[in-house]
Amino acid sequence: MVMNRELELIIGHQDQTCRLDAYVARITGLSRSLMTEGSTVFIIDGKTVKKSQTAREGQKVLIKYCEMLFEDIVPQDIPLDVIYEDHDILVIDKPQGMVVHPALGNYEGTLVNALAFRYGDDFLKSMEMDGDISRPGIVHRLDKDTSGVMVVALNRESHAALSRQFAEHTVKKTYFCLCKGVFTPPCGELKTCIGRDPGDRKRFAVKNEGRLAHTVYNVVEQYPNHALCSVSILTGRTHQIRVHMSYLGHSIVGDPLYSRPDGLFPDATMMLHSRRLDMTHPITGERIKFESPLPIRFEKALSVLDGMKKA
């Protein structure tokens, strides 16, 4: 199945001499082969332009392209750790290792497969958005290796209302992470642009162009060479916390992309956890908050660090 997509970007000054399709590929991760003249349209100032046109600083570019979607979701009886559930929303504690929705290389074992089993075909059909059945109810994501609290919409009305809250940044998302080093000062914020790393398409990086990312952090507990941090994100960029912590020189312990193995915790998996979600109920309008306790991997690491601090 083919789905029509749209994406809007602003050209950064480092890309003044780049071809338009090269810029879009580097920033968004869309492949150059996808952006053929027939399937992808580039619009600047209301006019359709060629993909070979030079990207100019400050230009606002609208990209219209087609994406292949999955036609079938396989229902799977995957247990979910439910924090809260009503007719409109489901709030879960996502385990580390679970992929949120099907994608290339991950067709099964995802949260969406679990939702298909839990709510059935009627749910899938009712949540189908313009032919897209691959992400029913999904209004935000957590990376595969990030655990913690996550909300799912259970009908179109709640989906629209929650999507609007995330787009308008009225949802407060708080994460806990175990980072390397000593923070000086123990709190701060970052406002940068984040885009694809030109040297590694799996990674993102702080750049002069890309999409604005706003992160606020506070040290909850400082240890000799590690720190437990509370991090709030006011935007929802891919890998945002991981990129910003690495940019500060305090990469997250166990991060396979942005950190090297830690001497004290060489076998650690990523120590990033969605701790709290504060939002408005999409139907009742009530302000609600959900929390997820720190998982066992955090408890074990903090026990080691607490012991060292007391010694």
Provide CB contacts within 8 A for 29, sequence distance 6+.
196, 201
Q: Could you give the CA distance from residue 86 to residue 154 in angstroms, rounded to a whole number?
A: 9
Residues 6+ apart with CB under 8 A from 159: 127, 129, 137, 139, 153, 282
Q: Give yes or no for a contact between 192 and 244, defined as CB atoms under 8 angstroms apart.
A: yes
Q: Provide the token pair at 282.
A: 């999409």
Q: Specify the amino acid at residue 298.
A: F
> Quick check: is 143 catalytic?
yes
* Residues whose CB is less than 8 angstroms from the CB of residue 285 and which lie 6 or more positions away in sequence, other chains included: none
Return the HEC string of 212-262. Answer: EEEEEEEEEEECCCEEEEEEEECCCCCCHHHHHHHHCCCCECCCCCCCCCC
The Cα-based distances of 82 to 85, 87, 118, 143 in angstroms read: 7, 14, 12, 19
162: Cα separation from own chain's centroid: 16
CA 117 remoteness from chain centre: 24
* Inter-residue contact 91 to 98 (CB < 8 Å): no
* CA 25 to chain centroid: 19
Spot the catalytic one: 15, 21, 93, 143. Answer: 143
Report the catalytic residues.
143
